[in-house]
Amino acid sequence: MQGYPHFYVASASAVNEGNVVVTGEGLPDLETASPPQFDGPLGVWSPETLFSAAVADCFILTFRAIARASKFEWTSLECKAEGVLERPEKTTFFTTFNVHAVLHAPDGAKVELAERLLEKAEALCLITASLKSEVVLTTEVIID
């Protein structure tokens, strides 16, 4: 790992009509638009869905690192992050992220340890740690 600080740079560009193109060095371009809730088109990533995806993605990557360090064997992890956008006191922001994680682990895995590692992943995820939003984690551990 590189020393701190780390810098992450992304750019966006658009013309008067149509999608916004988000770019990052060495990354494929990504087209975005306003979400349907703000009269945007269906089927296009929006900043709001990207934000929720970042929460889910970071949770899984954090869990992967923690599980590896703990020598915990697992087979798959699905994470759904639902961002709740509200307008309390005339300011629109994400008030809550409901994060639901379903972990599959092989026979013999300790459910209590799995649950602790999932909770630790939520606590250490740098995306959720950077939010002022409440994060509500629910977990399900399935032994296959």
Closest CA to 45 of 56, 34, 59: 34
> Which residues, 6+ apart, have CB-to-CB distance to 12 below 8 Å?
20, 21, 22, 23, 32
Query: Tokens 């013999």 map to which residue?
Result: 108
Which pLDDT belongs to residue 84? 98
How does pLDDT run across 85-141, given as a tens digit for each residue? Answer: 999 989 999 999 999 999 999 999 999 999 999 999 999 999 999 999 999 999 999
Which pLDDT belongs to residue 6? 95
Which pLDDT belongs to residue 38? 96
Which pLDDT belongs to residue 142? 97
Residue 61, CA distances (Å) to 31, 77, 121 in order? 24, 10, 9
Indicate the burial class of 126 (C-beta count within 10 angstroms; 0-12, 13-18, 19 or more): exposed
* pTM value > 0.75: yes
Q: Which residues pair with 101 in a beta bridge?
A: 79, 139
Per-residue pLDDT, averaged over 11-19, amounts to 96
Which pLDDT belongs to residue 69? 98
Which pLDDT belongs to residue 55? 98
Contact indicator for 101, 56 with CB cutoff of 8 Å: no
Q: Is the pLDDT reported for residue 1 higher than 90?
A: no
Q: Are strands 93-105 and 134-143 parallel, antiparallel or unpaired?
A: parallel
Go through the domains of the chain in sequence order and give each one's CATH number: 47-143 (3.30.300.20)
How does pLDDT run across 72-89, given as a tens digit for each residue? Answer: 999 999 999 999 999 998
How does pLDDT run across 40-51, given as a tens digit for each residue? Answer: 999 999 999 999
